Amino acid sequence: MTATHEHGTPEIELRVEALESLLTEKGLVSPAAVDAVINYFEQDVGPLNGAKAVARAWLDPDYKARLIEDASSAFNELGITVRDNVIAVENTAEEHNVVVCTLCSCYPWSVLGLPPTWYKAPAYRSRVVREPRKVLAEMGLELPKSTAIRVWDSSAEIRYMVVPEQPQGTESMTENELEALVTRDSMIGVAQAAQPNAK
Ligand code: FE
């Protein structure tokens, strides 16, 4: 199977850089403002879409089944349009999923926003395949030996998101409350969903 990993041509990236430089030079935007916008997409807009679907899936097993079966349609049900071909994979006590793009940085932008810097780092991309348990432990996620780890390699055609396990003790929480527990990292698979009291 051939996988492509196109994120825009170098010319487009150069044009973006040129525009940012020009706007900064003319005093129209500050680099800090640009960073703030990027941070907004990285932290809020993107992961929020994924988090909405995960929270719904926790509350509604039928929805979860549809999300695993056909993520795009399941997102559409929530009024979210998915531009990537996203496949959702579910964490269980027996199997933990983690996502990488070994070739570059393919990532489900429309549901998770911008990828974190470490996602694009060669160290993460190469090591998480070879020694996922060790890499996850280093990132603060210690998994029991009895939990198998499955690594999903994203490409431009197929981009994965993880449906983390619902934290214990959150059964009576509302959908909005649950959403807040679904972090970006938990949907990449390098963390569990947040504990309610950890907020
Ligand atoms: Fe890629």
Which CATH number belongs to the domain containing residue 165 in this structure? 3.90.330.10
Q: Is 104 a catalytic residue?
A: yes
* Residues 17 and 76 both lie in one domain: no
* Residues 26 and 120 reside in one and the same domain: no
What distance in angstroms lies between residue 124's CA and the mean position of ligand 1's atoms? 13
Which entry of 72, 106, 110, 155 is annotated as an active-site residue?
106
For 169, the token pair is 């003790």
Q: What confidence score (pLDDT) does residue 3 get?
A: 58
Known active-site residue 105: yes
Predicted confidence band at 23 (pLDDT cuts at 50, 70, 90)? confident
Q: What is the pLDDT of residue 27?
A: 82
Active site residue 106: yes
C-alpha triplet 124, 154, 46: angle, nearest 5°: 85
Whether pLDDT at 158 is above 50: yes
Stretch 165-187: mean pLDDT, rounded?
A: 96
- Check whether residue 91 and residue 19 sit in a common domain: no
Q: Any alpha helices (H) in 78-172, and if so which ranges?
A: 109-112, 122-130, 132-138
Query: Are residues 87 and 22 both part of a single domain?
Result: no
Catalytic residue among 30, 72, 73, 104: 104
pLDDT beyond 50 at 143 = yes
Other CB atoms within 10 A of residue 115 CB: 20
* In a shared domain, residues 116 and 96: yes
Look at the chain and count its residues: 199
Confidence tier at 34 by pLDDT (50, 70, 90):
confident
Average pLDDT score, the chain: 89
Highest mean pLDDT range out of 2-6, 33-37, 51-55?
51-55
Torsion of CA 77, 194, 135, 44, to 10 degrees: 50
Does residue 126 sit within a domain?
yes
How far, in Å, is the centroid of ligand 1 from the Cα of 178?
30
Q: Helices 31-40 and 10-25 meet at what angle, rounded to 10? A: 130
Q: Are 100 and 151 in contact (CB under 8 A)?
A: yes
Question: Among the options 30, 72, 105, 154, which is catalytic?
Answer: 105
pLDDT band, very low/low/confident/very high, at 41 (cuts 50, 70, 90): low
Region 12-22: mean pLDDT is 76
Q: Are residues 37 and 52 both part of a single domain?
A: no
Looking at per-residue pLDDT, the higher value among 198 and 140 belongs to 140
Find out whether 97 and 148 touch, Cβ atoms under 8 Å: no
CA of 126 to the centre of ligand 1 (A): 13
Interval 134-140 mean pLDDT: 98
Indicate whether 121 and 107 sit together in one domain: yes
> Domain total for the chain?
2
Reported as a pLDDT band with limits 50, 70 and 90, residue 40 is low
Q: Decide if pLDDT at 36 tops 90.
A: no
Question: Is 81 in the same domain as 132?
Answer: yes
Residue range(s) defining the domain that contains residue 15: 11-41
Statement to judge: residues 49 and 36 lie in one domain:
no
Predicted pLDDT at 198: 59
The reply to whether 25 and 120 lie within a common domain is no
Tokens of 123: 């160290």
Q: 148: part of which helix (H) or strand (E)?
A: strand 148-153
Residues 23 and 73 in one domain: no
Three-class DSSP category at 37: helix
